[in-house]
Amino acid sequence: MIPTHDGETAVCVEIESPLGDLIVYGTIIPYQHAATRGTSYRSGGVDVTDKKGWELHYESIQRHEVDLVSLAERFPEHHLCFGGDCNQSRDGHVWPWGRQWYGTHHGRELLSNCLGRSGLSCVTDLDFTETGRLPSKSSVDHLCVSSGLVDQVIHVDVWQPDCVNNMPVSDHNGVYVDLRINPN
């Protein structure tokens, strides 16, 4: 385990793999109303229920950037993988109501800058709606890999959540990436 800025919403591990040594970072970036829903919401162990709209989302991305840049610098020989609920669609799909599914332009710009500064590429920013894989929404869950792994990506896909008693088990789709292992 590698410590992060907030062990409640961001976890990180070092893994030995056939692809080489990996740093895998998983997170949940707060959604628009995370701090305003009338229940206590914590970030870094601190109650942040007084935050407005997207404010916590933006602040969280900036904290993640510090973590990710530091990890890239601290482990330059490792591949970096980042994934989780980013609470923003990144596929560019414009819905009939005239905008993207979820998130703000500023939030997408912040996360794009974060990924760029960390040497990461988002490999799940595909339009799964156009391919029919997600007929009624864009994905807000994303997987990103360092430049050394981008050429190893052989398949990216999503799936709809299963239902139990006619209710979906999640309001999120699943997402995965298959990577090719090059024998050396």
The answer to whether residue 172 is domain-embedded is: no
Q: How high does pLDDT run on average in the chain?
A: 88
Q: What pLDDT, on the 0 to 100 scale, is given for residue 41?
A: 59
**Dist CA 71 CA 77 (whole Å):** 11
The answer to whether residue 166 is domain-embedded is: no
Enclosing domain of residue 48: 10-150
The answer to whether residue 156 is domain-embedded is: no
The answer to whether residue 103 is domain-embedded is: yes
The answer to whether residue 67 is domain-embedded is: yes
> Per-residue confidence at 87, pLDDT binned at 50, 70, 90?
very high
Q: What pLDDT, on the 0 to 100 scale, is given for residue 130?
A: 87
pLDDT 10s digits, 138-149: 899 999 999 889
pLDDT 10s digits, 96-117: 777 678 889 999 999 999 999 9
- pLDDT of residue 58 exceeding 70, the answer is yes
The answer to whether residue 181 is domain-embedded is: no
The answer to whether residue 17 is domain-embedded is: yes
Contact 120, 146 (CB under 8 A): yes
**Greatest Cα-to-Cα distance within the chain, rounded to the nearest angstrom:** 55
DSSP type of residue 8 = T
Burial 113-143 (b: 16+ CB within 10 A, else e): ebbeebbbbbbbbbebbeeeebeebbbbbbb
pLDDT 10s digits, 6-55: 888 899 999 999 999 999 999 999 988 776 655 555 566 666 666 677 88
Tell me whether residue 69 is exposed, middle or buried, using C-beta atoms within 10 angstroms of its C-beta: 0 to 12, 13 to 18, 19 or more: middle
Q: What pLDDT, on the 0 to 100 scale, is given for residue 163?
A: 82
Count Cβ atoms below 10 Å from residue 169 Cβ, excluding itself. 9
Number of domains in the chain: 1
The torsion angle over the Cα atoms of residues 88, 93, 97 and 102, rounded to 10 degrees, is: 0
The answer to whether residue 155 is domain-embedded is: no
